[in-house]
């Protein structure tokens, strides 16, 4: 006889400055993910707007603001726009491997270079190798660190140019955190390509959604998420499709969308590691 499911205890953080909207204060509600039902709890909470960080599931719970909105891409219906289609062709030579959640020095060095350019002085800027290992390895659910490398040469792995910490859930992929090469001479559009790759992999595996985390209306840092359509947003009445006009306003009128055929067996396993 299986042990009874215990309703989790929730806690609230102290208010702190919002990293997305100037002058705002953020607060989060969170609970621990542990025990044999951690995966089920994480998926159930994910459907109502929670995100995972290590062994904790959290969601914004701000007193006077509701700008943070959970969004997810409908993978099977996704149609890339012209720019996205060109990026798919441009980076088609990259070798993608879904690795077990164990960190390497090469991954950490790439993360440091990314943070120095994209988020100097941010909350993760002081992250050391131990902190990085905790972020990746402390997971109670099915997690992968997906690597993106330049083509192999002479049997040796190519240069690591991108990585994404991702959870595989019953209804889709949840992208936890991605980082990539942003130095001189680096490939352009790697961040977009990593999202596109996840959408295509989810569709091929028959997984309906790719969870992109929170979209924050009014935050330029989050506008890119509305470029991946069709997109659903979570509100008080549940998930609903974001209309093109609404997405256009957020993403500054993106190029016309084009269709991309999804090939392969839809029910095959997404990734093996």
Percent of the chain with pLDDT over 90: 79
| Mean pLDDT, residues 126-151 taken together | 97
pLDDT confidence of residue 3 = 55
Residue 264: pLDDT above 60?
no
The secondary structure of residue 185, as a DSSP letter, is: T
Closest Cα partner for 263 from 201, 211, 207, 172? 201
Angle formed at CA 232 by CA 229 and CA 236, multiple of 5 degrees: 160
The secondary structure of residue 122, as a DSSP letter, is: S
The secondary structure of residue 222, as a DSSP letter, is: G
Question: What is the rounded CA–CA span in Å between residue 140 and residue 55?
Answer: 6
The model's pTM is 0.88
When mean pLDDT is compared across 57-61, 135-139, 154-158, 190-194, the lowest value belongs to 154-158
User: Which token pair is 46?
Assistant: 């994910």
Question: What is the rounded CA–CA span in Å between residue 52 and residue 26?
Answer: 17
Question: What is the rounded CA–CA span in Å between residue 52 and residue 89?
Answer: 32
Residue 128: pLDDT above 80?
yes
Q: How confident is the model at residue 183 (pLDDT cuts 50, 70, 90)?
A: confident
Peptide bond connecting 230 to the previous residue in cis, omega within 30 degrees of 0: yes
Paired strand residues for 239: 234
| Mean model confidence pLDDT for the chain | 89
Query: For 73, left (φ over 0), alpha (ψ -120 to 50), or beta?
Result: beta
For the chain, report the end-to-end CA distance as a whole number of angstroms.
Answer: 32
Residue 247: pLDDT above 90?
no
Beta strands in 118-246 (DSSP E): 143-149, 160-169, 172-180, 209-216, 231-235, 238-241
Angle formed at CA 45 by CA 40 and CA 50, multiple of 5 degrees: 135
Q: How confident is the model at residue 252 (pLDDT cuts 50, 70, 90)?
A: low
pLDDT tens digits for 148-176? 999 999 999 999 999 999 999 999 999 99
User: Which token pair is 8?
Assistant: 């989790």
| Mean pLDDT, residues 52-57 taken together | 98
Q: How confident is the model at residue 255 (pLDDT cuts 50, 70, 90)?
A: very low
When mean pLDDT is compared across 45-59, 65-79, 123-137, 244-258, the lowest value belongs to 244-258
Question: What is the rounded CA–CA span in Å between residue 85 and residue 121?
Answer: 34
Q: What share of the chain is helix, strand, coil (3-state, %, to 5)?
A: 25, 30, 45
| Mean pLDDT, residues 25-46 taken together | 96
pLDDT confidence of residue 245 = 72
Burial class (CB in 10 A: 0-12, 13-18, 19+), 248: middle
H-run or E-run covering 46? helix 38-46
């Amino acid at each position: 006889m299986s042990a009874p499911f215990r309703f989790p205890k929730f806690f609230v953080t102290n208010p702190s400055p919002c990293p997305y909207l100037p002058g705002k204060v953020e607060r989060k509600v969170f609970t621990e993910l542990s025990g044999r039902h951690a995966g089920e709890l994480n998926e159930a909470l994910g459907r109502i707007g929670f995100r995972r960080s290590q062994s904790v599931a959290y969601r914004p719970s701000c007193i006077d603001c509701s700008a943070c909105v959970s969004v997810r891409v409908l993978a099977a219906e996704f149609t890339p726009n012209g720019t996205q289609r060109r990026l798919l062709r441009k980076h088609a030579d990259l070798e993608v491997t879904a690795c077990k959640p164990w960190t390497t020095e090469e991954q950490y060095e790439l993360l440091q270079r990314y943070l120095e350019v994209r988020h100097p002085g941010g909350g993760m800027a002081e992250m050391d190798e131990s902190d990085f290992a905790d972020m990746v390895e402390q997971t109670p659910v099915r997690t992968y660190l997906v690597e993106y490398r330049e083509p192999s040469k002479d049997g040796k792995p190519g240069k690591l140019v991108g990585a994404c910490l991702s959870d595989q859930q019953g209804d889709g992929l949840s992208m936890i955190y991605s980082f990539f090469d942003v130095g001189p001479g680096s490939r352009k559009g790697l961040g977009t390509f990593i999202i596109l790759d996840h959408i295509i992999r989810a569709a091929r595996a028959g997984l309906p959604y790719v969870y992109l985390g929170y979209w924050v209306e009014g935050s330029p840092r989050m506008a890119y998420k509305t470029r991946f359509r069709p997109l659903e947003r979570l509100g008080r009445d549940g998930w609903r499709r974001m209309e093109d006009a609404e997405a256009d306003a957020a993403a500054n009128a993106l190029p016309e969308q084009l269709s991309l055929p999804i090939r392969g067996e839809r029910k095959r396993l997404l990734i093996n590691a």
